[in-house]
Structure 1
Amino acid sequence: MTDVEEVQVVVAHHERTTLRVGDVFLKIDTDQTRTDVEVEAMAMAPVPTPEVLWRKPPVLALAALPGTALGRLGEPSIASSAAWAAAGAAVRMLHDAPLPPWPGRNLDEDASRLDGECEWLITNDVLPADVVTRNRRIAEAALRPWTPVFMHGDLQVSHVFVDGDEITGVIDWSEAGQGDALFDLAILTLGHEEHLGDVVAGYGADVDLDVIRAWWSLRSLLAVRWLVEHGFDPSSPGCEVDVLRSQAAGR
């Protein structure tokens, strides 16, 4: 790591920070339980993941993956349809793997937060009441029983790396656990609805598209306040606020 030209801040807020120093990512997390999950999940996952170089709490050092991110929320993806399908196939491989021994996303917690977040969005004039109400109704379809799978839990498009049409790895496993398969597919395609068909084709199983769309609404409704409070802008073009408006319009 000599002769490094710069230190890049990848993400930073009061809970965690990720820095890139040359070909090494340094993840600093206030909650070492999340780091425990990340390290164990990467060891168990049947898909490529970053190499753990060392760990000295609160810092975890990971080797950079080859290739580039599949895309970013709010920006058109330049990745091929084949790359998106390969991402779907990788997710299916993960979901078919043995379950991790720890629990994952809590359905009851999401349901209990939903009304409060909707009220906050309306009270603070983030979105018109009819847009929030429409998305609240759509989101209800996600709140149903599911068969648990090995879920990544935060499968944002920027967490999947590709080189050409091939997947080179998946990063950020701190939210992994037992959960809903369609949640992963929804987060991967959030803001990139045009690639949903490619992902589902690569996934190779029947999925309920209405539930995926319900997760788009639910995830966005729950995320906006957190993003605002942590210095992010969910109203940027193509991001969560635009997703909610598009969902309400039925596009």
Structure 2
Amino acid sequence: MDEVEVVVAHSQRATLRVGDVFLKVDGDPAHAEREARAMDMAPIPTPAVLWREPPVLAIAAVPGKALGVLGEPSAASPAAWAAAGAAVRKLHDAPLPPWPGPRLDDVAAELDRECAWLLAHAVVPAEVVRRNRAIAEAALRPWTPVFVHGDLQITHVFVDGDEVTGVIDWSEAAPGDAMFDLAILTLGHEERLDEVLAGYGPGADRDVIRAWWSLRSLVASRWLIEHGFDPDARGCEFDVLRSRMREP
């Protein structure tokens, strides 16, 4: 029997790997349902769904390697990053999934709530929180919904050479802001934004992408801390927040 590898595990969900099969166990069966439907609808390479027995979703491994990880330089070529941008454009041009996405009012309320928590617990200096809260304001504007992945971290995009071979982890897919996907893909790898946008094409707003870098890092930090992750690791969320302090 193949060795069982725990890929990620926390109180909400766990992912195990057995050979070339990934078993995703989620406390909310709606996540698995949405993930399977989103992968079926997405016009870009996704893992094959092998079987689904709530609360478990079994999917096949995709070929290739992830674009990279937070905190380390990406070994992927500029062409691979551009291919990722082109794949994101193809997704954003696809018909919307038939379930609701995030509401602007809810995003704004979450930002206020998480900034208050960061200030109260002093996990980063207050001036860092306030500076990034001001930058994040640019993301809080009405957007035209597109089909977004919703959690497009570089570890979720796989490439082989200069081609995208698969995009994984679709449980947050929904109608949403296109700039959010582009920001999450380049979070902590801002030097790759030009390459991504070369593949994505026209219509990207760099100021809004920059705002989402700040907003995402602010709202994700408490969840990461409470679930055993370290947003202060090199190249991760706190570094993203601190980097804004060096800008004019």
| Shorter-chain TM-score range | over 0.9
Query: 2:108, 2:75 → 1: CA distance?
Result: 35
Q: How does 1:59-208 map to 2 (within 5 A)?
A: 59-208=56-205
Determine the structure 1 residue equivalent to 2:40: 43
Q: Which residue identity does 2:207 align to in structure 1?
A: D
Query: 2:245, 2:220 → 1: CA distance?
Result: 17
SS at 2:220 equivalent: helix
Q: Does 1:10 align with 2:10?
A: no
CA displacement at 1:109 relative to structure 2: 1.2
Q: Which residue identity does 2:19 align to in structure 1?
A: G
Give the one of 222, 226, 243 matched to 2:223: 226
CA displacement at 1:137 relative to structure 2: 0.2
CA displacement at 1:110 relative to structure 2: 1.4
Determine the structure 2 residue equivalent to 1:57: 54
CA displacement at 1:7 relative to structure 2: 1.3
Q: Is the 8 A contact 1:89 1:203 kept in 2?
A: yes
State percent identity of aligned pairs: 72
Q: Which residue identity does 2:201 align to in structure 1?
A: G
Q: TM-score, normalised by structure 2?
A: 0.98
Q: Which residue identity does 1:83 align to in structure 2?
A: A
- What root-mean-square deviation, in Å, do the aligned CA atoms of Structure 1 and Structure 2 show? 0.9
CA displacement at 1:106 relative to structure 2: 2.3
Q: Which residue identity does 1:231 align to in structure 2?
A: G
Structure 2: gaps of 5 or more residues: none
Q: Is the 8 A contact 1:25 1:61 kept in 2?
A: yes
Give the one of 9, 16, 35 matched to 1:19: 16
Query: 1:93, 1:208 → 2: CA distance?
Result: 17
CA displacement at 1:248 relative to structure 2: 2.5
Q: Does 1:211 align with 2:208?
A: yes
Q: Is the 8 A contact 1:117 1:221 kept in 2?
A: yes
Q: TM-score, normalised by structure 1?
A: 0.97
Runs ≥4 in structure 1, deviation > 6 angstroms?
none
Structure 1: gaps of 5 or more residues: none
CA displacement at 1:122 relative to structure 2: 1.9
